[in-house]
Structure 1
Amino acid sequence: MTELFNASELSPTEKRGPGVVGIIEFAVGDQKEFTGEYIPTDMRFFMVADMNGQPYQRVISYDDIKGVEVEDSALTVNFDMGPIRIRDIGNGTAQVFADFVNEQLDKRK
């Protein structure tokens, strides 16, 4: 899969963390699965999904994330709005990703 994330979105001092690519499970109309990426940085969190050939990007504050849980080749990010799971992770390591995000959350407590 071609990377959907546009690195030009990052500020000059922002550092990108370990991302994961896979199938993001959330419903939009009749569609319930989207190929996508979770990209954490030291400042914020990006969720990018391929919606019928068009990248859709959502930028999320760490203040809106409760934590990350790893389960085999999938992980769930627990957002304030509810959990969103990504499975069939094709690159990156789920545990490394989860550790990075949870570390960012711990810094903000």
Structure 2
Amino acid sequence: MAIDGLKITLGEVSKTAGQLRTFNQTLSTKLHEIKTDMNNLAQYWESDASSTIRGNFNALEPRFEEYRQVVDNYAKFLDNTVTYYNDAESKINNNASMFK
């Protein structure tokens, strides 16, 4: 497909969906590691500031999960777009081949 000189292939769309999933998983893993490290610091750093930062970070966990799901859903949307486009293209091609 091309729009004003912009060309996007279905392969690129599929590749982008995969990259989004990879980046999303990497980010999720890193955020989990940070949470674990911060919570482990509690045994070495006892103060109001320590409690505050851990509490605030841990409170963000549901938001991180929401964003992870949004990115996953967008990757699924891209995959579905490729599937539906391929299906439509195939049906159009089959119907067009009837005109002989």
Normalising by structure 2, report the TM-score.
Answer: 0.25
Q: Larger Cα Rg: Structure 1 or Structure 2?
A: 2
Which one has the bigger strand percentage?
1
Normalising by structure 1, report the TM-score.
Answer: 0.24
The structure whose RCO (Cα within 8 Å, separation 6+) is larger is: 2
